Amino acid sequence: MAPKVQIHNLIARTHTVKAGTFPVRTYLEHPHGLYVERPFYNHPLYRHWQAHILPALGWQICRFTPHEGEHWCEYYVDMVSVRREGHIWSVQDLYLDLGITKDRKLLVLDTDELFAAVGQGLISLEQAASSTASLHELINRLAEHDNDLPAMLSLRGIELEWRLETVP
């Protein structure tokens, strides 16, 4: 099994993941990173995905549109490592995630995946430590702002624009 890495090609407008390479509707670079918006194809749960990749913070903040109803969380934050080479962005998943519900409850997710990835040599102990520190930073900063992600980011000078509130 290989590490989980996503490749964003800004010129070809493609997003490559384990399941294949898919067209991207929107790429927008901003001072803090990259906004991505694309439909999901043949996904059992979701029909659309939006994300802000924030390399300096080590976070990929996602919003999902399910086929039916509402997603269980408002924001899903992946702890990541980002490398950029020209128009290619590589985003390596560091396995720890945080779900933030609409009523601002926090759910730490995939700790078991982090330990399994270290045990299988998919990520180093140093990467696991970085992922854990990044998650702690996120939770601690959120706690200072009543778990309000946009408010916490705003005080850091980061205003994230979500292009679509509802996705067709």
Q: How far apart, in Å, are the Cα atoms of 3 and each of 80, 92, 113, 118?
A: 12, 7, 11, 10
Q: Structural domain of residue 80, as residue ranges?
A: 5-154
The number of domains in the chain is 1
Domain-located, residue 82: yes
Domain-located, residue 168: no
Would you state the pLDDT for residue 168? 47
| pLDDT beneath 50, residues of the chain | 167-168
Q: Terminal CA-to-CA distance of the chain, rounded, Å?
A: 35
What is the distance between the alpha carbons of residues 101 and 150, in angstroms, rounded to a whole number?
A: 13
List the CATH number of the domain containing 108: 2.40.380.10
Domain-located, residue 162: no
Domain-located, residue 56: yes
Domain-located, residue 167: no
β partners of residue 64: 49
Domain-located, residue 123: yes
Domain-located, residue 21: yes
Would you state the pLDDT for residue 41? 87
Domain-located, residue 127: yes
